[in-house]
Structure 1
Amino acid sequence: DCLITQLELNGRGNSVAARIVRDYFKLLVRRRIPELSRKTGTTTDDIQTAIEEIATLDPAPGKRFSADSNTVIEPDVTVFKDDYGQWQVVLNNDYIPRLRISGVYKEMLAKGTLSKKEKDFMLERMRSGKFLINSIEQRQQTIERITREILSFQSDFFEHGIAKLRPLTMNTIAQTVEVHETTVSRAIANKYMRSPHGVFAFKYFFTPGFTSSSGESVSNKSIKDMIAHLIEEENTAKPYSDQKIVDLLKQKEIKIARRTVAKYREELGILPTNLRRRYD
């Protein structure tokens, strides 16, 4: 229904593409171009053009409204290499409130004119204020320590990009930073890092993965990147099957199941083999 709605909004509600989606979707999925041609009374070229039009539609348009696509993300941390080739970690403290204990309260306490009740109340408020200030400072220090450990562990990513992202768990970082795993989880919640390869949510760096036959750890995000690259470079007249992609990854010493390739391909929004094939 969402495909038909998009076609109608584009003024294409009576097009060949709309007829195929509405009446012959099973034939579309099975890529039965000659049969679609007969059913619709059009040429195979018309069917190919219609399929290409359908491929431009969004199968899950609601996802685009899950977050404001125009929202500007202000990174909490920036990681960059300085002029001397050294990696630097800089926290963005612009959004952190600059808090301090007012000197007026200290003067009032020093004068000794307050009653015991007033003095106790003021001391309690000052202790609460100091606790808040220390908590904010400690949180920033924790974020910086976590960032430095991510930088150390994912050094290949920062040097070479997504393809070099390694599998990493929050527990690994927690043990190194010497805090509880839940502390790491809370510290990085809704936090973003600017890197030489773009702005990423902190959670992006924590990903499961596989071990290649050579013993190298490869993250699932790196594997997805490889799959996308293979499909991008494929011959569209003879697109790779999921099993073929399994075989090609095996040549790179990465052994994963065909169903895993299919899952990653779907998560990347890439059509199956029969819908990627083009007839020139």
Structure 2
Amino acid sequence: MIGMEQVQGLALQQTLSPQMQQSLHILQAPLMELRQLVASELQANPVLEEENRTTSPSLDEGAPQQSSTLDDEWREVYSQRGSTEQWSAEALERRQHFFDSHTRPQTLQQHLLEQLGAIGLSPNRKGIAMVVVGNIDDRGYLRSDAVEIAAQAGCSDGEAEEVIGIIQELDPPGVCARSLSECLFLQLKRQGQQYSIASRIAQHYLEELGRRKLGDIARQLRVPLAEVQRAAEEISHLEPRPGRPFSAEEEQTVVADIIMERDGDEYTLSLNNSEIPSLRIGNDYKDMLSQPGANREVKEYLREKIRGGRFFIKCIEQRQHTLLNIAREIVNRQREFFDLGPAHLHPMTMSQVAQAVGVHETTVSRAVSGKYMSTPRGLFELKYFFTSGYTTSEGEAVSNESVRQSIAEIIKNEDPRKPPSDQDIVKLLGERGVPIARRTVAKYREQLGILPSHLRKSF
């Protein structure tokens, strides 16, 4: 085509090798993800094995252990499996007892059907109830309305509505609701508060409540703001997902990479290596390389796998070494935080830690991503300790977290009849030598979940 032509040129482009990508992935992976990476690598690389793994005792412990061949290893596996015919009656009984005692947790649907069985419904209503329960999701909400239930069960809309009402009286409170508003109302009704301010808010002003427009709700209901605040507090303790106790979803577990312990006036740090298997290159494969009659292609394959295994082990060791050095520098710079509390957290940047540890700033960023440290003051994400701050009139550096804690302290000790406004808090912090803008105070107050002064005021 006219105007198009091929042009030859040279250009430099920086790319990461697969080994470097693997190294960065290992450095950035949290502990639970790293454990999965190690398990995957153990499956993919045959020369890798765990150290101190349990092995079958030798028949002749006095004889020197010979390097087993692949055939010997497979024979060992098959011999350990055995057939159930060789098992003793006692072993079979223990095995059956294990399977019988290993029960699955009860589902929400099973829990509801069990309660319905104790009520003694008529066969017609029991059939409708089965349809209703089948349309309740794991959160505890009814996914269909009465018209759809009636069509599925072959009954009238009124009969379907009656059965829905029966199931809504069951445990857990709030189950079988068709909306969040109905779910909260059912829980309040169970507490005998179906005519309360909280109940009216749950039914008609849930959107305004979510936006924290308590003043608007008070005006529309023509009640004091204090009553709306108490009602909002009651609603906050209700369960928005009644089916949560029966949910099969796995909870995300946070495991600390660094363990801090107090030893007198000092703090000691250690790596949580219990979650990561200790790896090594199997001796059997090293012996196979030294055999003179081994196939050349087999030797080359083993050399490649051994190089990859050694690099993988080195990456894990480097990750642990870097992470521990960064944690030590954090503790050195934030000593007052661990001694005195969050109000004494100092400003600290990743570039400062990187310079002290002797690595690049991006390395620190990757190393602390998703990593946690268990301390005497609780479990903290490592990123928590990196924060910017302010310089007081006396030249002292104060972190953002310290300012937030100061705002929380001021509001905690306020006079409920005359709570300080954001501008008042600016003046109070200014008297302490901390220069801060009013909009910054408002932002920190919202992050702390604290209402504005006119909504905190008690009459």
The TM-score by the shorter chain falls in which range? 0.7 to 0.9
For residues 310 and 319 of structure 2, the distance between their equivalents in structure 1, rounded to whole angstroms, comes to 14
- Alignment pair present for 1:124 and 2:301: no
Of residues 223, 243, 265 in structure 1, which corresponds to 2:423?
243
In 2, are the aligned partners of 1:29 and 1:274 still within 8 Å (CA)?
no
1:213 matched to which residue of 2?
A: 393
Aligned to 2:446: 266
Aligned counterparts of 1:56 and 1:269: Cα–Cα separation in 2? 16
Partner of 2:285: 105
For 1:98 and 1:32, the matched residues in 2 are separated by: 61
Q: Which amino acid aligns with 2:438?
A: R
**Residue 437 of structure 2 corresponds to residue 257 of structure 1:** yes
- d(CA) in 1 for partners of 2:214, 2:282: 73
User: Aligned partners of 1:4 and 1:259: how far apart in 2?
Assistant: 34
Q: Which residue pairs with 1:223 in the alignment?
A: 403
* Residue in 2 that maps onto 1:10: 187
Please name the residue that 1:114 is paired with.
Answer: 294
Alignment-derived partner of residue 382 in structure 2: 202
Q: CA deviation at 1:86?
A: 2.4
Q: CA deviation at 1:70?
A: 5.9
Q: What residue is the counterpart of 1:80 in the other structure?
A: 261
**1:50 correspondence with 2:231:** no
Cα shift at 1:56: 4.8
Tell me by how many angstroms 1:98 deviates. Answer: 1.3
Deviates further, 7-16 or 270-279: 7-16
**Partner amino acid, structure 2, of 1:158:** F
Kindly state the Cα deviation for residue 200 of structure 1 after the two structures are TM-superposed.
0.2
C-alpha displacement of 1:255: 1.0
CA distance in 1, matches of 2:250, 2:233: 22
Equivalenced residue count is 265
- In structure 1, the residue matched to 2:361 is 181
**Partner of 2:46 in structure 1?**
none
- In structure 2, what is the Cα distance between the partners aligned to 1:118 and 1:98? 26
SS of the residue aligned with 2:269?
A: strand
Maintained 8 Å contact 1:209/1:219: yes
Cα displacement (A) at 1:246: 1.0
Q: How far off is 1:100 after superposition?
A: 0.4
Verify: 1:275 aligned to 2:452, yes or no. Answer: no
Q: Distance in 1 between matches of 2:449 and 2:442?
A: 11
- Deviation, 1:123, is 0.9
Cα distance between partner residues in 2 of 1:13 and 1:4: 13
13 and 256 in structure 1: CA distance in 2 versus 1, 3 angstrom threshold = farther
How far apart are residue 7 of structure 1 and its match?
4.6
Structure 2, unaligned runs of 5 or more: 1-178
Please give the secondary structure, in 2, of the residue aligned with 1:49: helix
Query: If the length of structure 1 is used for normalisation, what is the TM-score?
Result: 0.83
Q: Which amino acid aligns with 2:283?
A: G
Which TM-score applies when normalising by structure 2? 0.52
Q: How does 1:122-201 map to 2 (within 5 A)?
A: 122-201=302-381
One-letter amino acid matched to 2:226:
Q
Q: Percent identity over the alignment?
A: 42
Other structure's SS at 1:94 match: helix
Q: Secondary structure at the match of 1:10?
A: helix
Q: Which moved more, 1:4-13 or 1:160-169?
A: 4-13
CA distance in 2, matches of 1:40, 1:183: 56
Larger radius of gyration: 2
Residues in 1 aligned to 2:332 and 2:261: alpha-carbon distance in whole angstroms: 13
CA-CA distance at 1:57 after TM superposition: 4.2
Q: Is the 8 A contact 2:198 2:235 kept in 1?
A: no
Report if aligned partners of 1:249, 1:255 keep a CA contact under 8 Å in 2. yes
CA gap 1:80/1:235 in 2 versus in 1, 3 angstroms = same
How far residue 133 of structure 1 moved from its aligned partner, in angstroms, is 0.4
CA positional deviation for 1:69:
11
What is the Cα-based RMSD across aligned positions, in Å? 3.1
2:404 match: secondary structure: helix
Segments of structure 1 that go 5 or more residues without pairing to the other structure are none
In the TM superposition, residue 204 of structure 1 has moved relative to its aligned partner by: 0.5
Q: Which one is further off, 261-270 or 150-159?
A: 150-159
Partners in 2 of 1:30 and 1:119 — Cα distance?
75
Q: CA deviation at 1:111?
A: 2.2
**1:129 is aligned with what amino acid?**
G
Distance 1:272 1:151 in 2: 36
How many angstroms does 1:97 deviate by? 2.1
